[in-house]
């Protein structure tokens, strides 16, 4: 469920009219619903009732401070994968004791920052990282709480680019080596091994891969404890999918996911850490864009909009489906048009929807691209020297711009010409004189 509904003919974000918002901030823009963020968090955590569980929002899905803060006020922690995300989580008010640092390539600077903040735990993904962290922790006179991220060699049955738990993936420590690596961690100075972590992929639409991975973790924990190791935390990662509208069947919800957790690991006495990202924010966001032109091709009709793949990369990168809907429905039921909704970027992949059925459109009309709250703004770029579009958070009938539009001039201001390319003073004067 989300809080983007039509009131009469006009699509609203909660009680805010999207045409009014477009007039106020310009297009394209992202808009997020506070009520949807809160509801998704509450539904997810309610499914885990009775378990010793901490829900850490995967910040990579949406790094906006206002989004992180909205979830933090509900009790969420944060799963971060970079020093920047760590700083963002802290700035948004996430307590350090609710932050987990994941990621396969943490730098020394990032590890030092995590230790200085005294976060809940660092999920280490390789022996070299573990040894580097040991040296860093000893050099600053502290002890790092660590969990070993295990690669369970489980196929998540999702897109190849977001599958992370198979043997060929770069993530985690091979599960068959976990005994030796955990013993090595226990022997290294400056480290306190506290648990095991796993994350097998994103946008899972089946429950069976979770069940297989969690059972493998259960067996591993039993064996590690038998070897005398203490296991107090179990980080189960995230990955539960959301409906984008092109699925072949229903997607399991939080209740089914929680039932698998209870059966597989609920009796191990571990504190469970869950890292949902997409599940919390995807349906809480729209990308609103304006039609520039209607182009009639030889065999296809193109609706050219002012948003581009630099604003929403998922369709170009993953072939992902996003529903596209009119912001204002027509007064009469004219014959619908079938068109490709495309952006202005010089790439054929700059396509949001192909063969999309829409009411008759004209230049100036507004469209909303649904389920855009996850991996939309967080993956945006300045490609084609296009500005980063603003982000707006809505709460009932009020709204706030929570990230300003970042213009192309800002991109230029970060760049410098080296001395040998700087225009000479007389050249500049000559150009000014028309010479």
Could you give the residue numbers annotated as active site? 346
Which residue do the tokens 């203490």 mark? 230
**Backbone CA torsion sign across 406, 95, 147, 224:** negative
| Distance between CA atoms of residues 53 and 6, nearest Å | 37
Closest CA to 308 of 374, 387, 405, 378: 387
Closest CA to 278 of 427, 59, 53: 59
DSSP string, 210-247: HHHHHHHHHHHHHHHHHTT----EEEEE--B----S--
Token pair for 376: 């939309």
| Distance between CA atoms of residues 49 and 274, nearest Å | 13
48 within 8 A of 29, measured Cβ to Cβ: no
| Distance between CA atoms of residues 364 and 383, nearest Å | 24
| Distance between CA atoms of residues 71 and 76, nearest Å | 5
- Count CA within 13 A, CB hemisphere, residue 130: 25
What ranges in 282-406 are assigned the alpha helix state H? 314-318
For residue 246, CA distances in Å to 251, 320, 321, 322, 404 come to: 11, 9, 7, 8, 32
**φ and ψ at 24, to 5 degrees?**
-75, -40
Token pair for 158: 């999702």
107 within 8 A of 83, measured Cβ to Cβ: yes
Pairing relation of β-strands 301-305 and 351-358? unpaired
| Distance between CA atoms of residues 127 and 318, nearest Å | 31
Task: Name the strand (E) or helix (H) holding 147.
Answer: strand 144-151
Token pair for 427: 């050249």
């Amino acid at each position: 469920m989300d809080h983007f509904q039509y009131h009469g003919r006009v699509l609203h974000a909660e009680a805010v009219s999207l045409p009014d918002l477009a007039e106020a901030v310009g297009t394209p823009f992202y808009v997020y619903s506070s009520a949807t963020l809160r509801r998704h968090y509450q539904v997810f955590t309610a499914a885990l009732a009775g378990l010793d569980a901490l829900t850490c929002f995967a910040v990579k899905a949406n790094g906006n401070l206002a989004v992180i803060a909205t979830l933090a006020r509900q009790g969420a922690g944060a799963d971060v994968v970079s020093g920047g995300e760590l700083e963002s989580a802290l700035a948004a008010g996430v307590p350090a004791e609710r932050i987990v640092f994941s990621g396969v390539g943490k730098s020394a600077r990032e590890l030092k920052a995590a230790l200085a903040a005294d976060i809940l735990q660092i999920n280490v993904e390789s022996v070299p990282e573990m040894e580097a962290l040991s040296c860093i922790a000893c050099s600053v006179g502290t002890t790092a709480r660590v969990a070993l991220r295990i690669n369970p060699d489980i196929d998540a049955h999702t897109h190849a680019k977001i599958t992370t738990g198979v043997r060929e993936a770069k993530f985690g420590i091979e599960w068959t080596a976990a005994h030796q690596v955990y013993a090595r961690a226990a022997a290294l100075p400056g480290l306190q091994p506290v648990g095991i972590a796993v994350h097998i992929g994103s946008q899972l639409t089946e429950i069976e891969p979770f069940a297989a991975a969690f059972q493998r973790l259960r067996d591993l924990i039993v064996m590690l404890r038998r070897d005398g190791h203490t296991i107090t935390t179990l980080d189960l990662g995230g990955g539960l999918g959301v409906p984008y509208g092109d699925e072949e069947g229903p997607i399991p919800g939080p209740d089914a996911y929680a039932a698998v957790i209870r059966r597989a690991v609920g009796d191990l006495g571990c504190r469970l850490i869950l890292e949902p990202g997409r599940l919390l924010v995807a349906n809480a966001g729209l990308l609103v864009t304006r039609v520039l032109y209607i182009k009639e091709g030889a065999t296809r009709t193109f609706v050219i909009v002012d948003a581009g793949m630099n604003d929403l990369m998922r369709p170009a990168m993953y072939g992902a489906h996003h529903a596209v809907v009119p912001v204002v429905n027509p007064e009469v039921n004219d014959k619908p048009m079938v068109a490709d909704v495309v952006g202005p970027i010089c790439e054929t992949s700059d396509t949001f929807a192909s063969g999309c059925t829409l009411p008759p459109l004209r230049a100036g009309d507004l469209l909303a691209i649904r389920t855009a709250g996850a991996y939309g703004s967080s993956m945006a770029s300045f490609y084609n020297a296009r500005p980063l579009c603003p982000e707006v958070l809505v709460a009932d009938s009020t709204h706030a711009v929570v990230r300003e539009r970042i213009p192309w001039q800002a991109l230029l201001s970060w760049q410098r010409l080296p001395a040998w390319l700087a225009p000479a003073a007389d050249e500049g004067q000559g150009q000014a004189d028309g010479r």
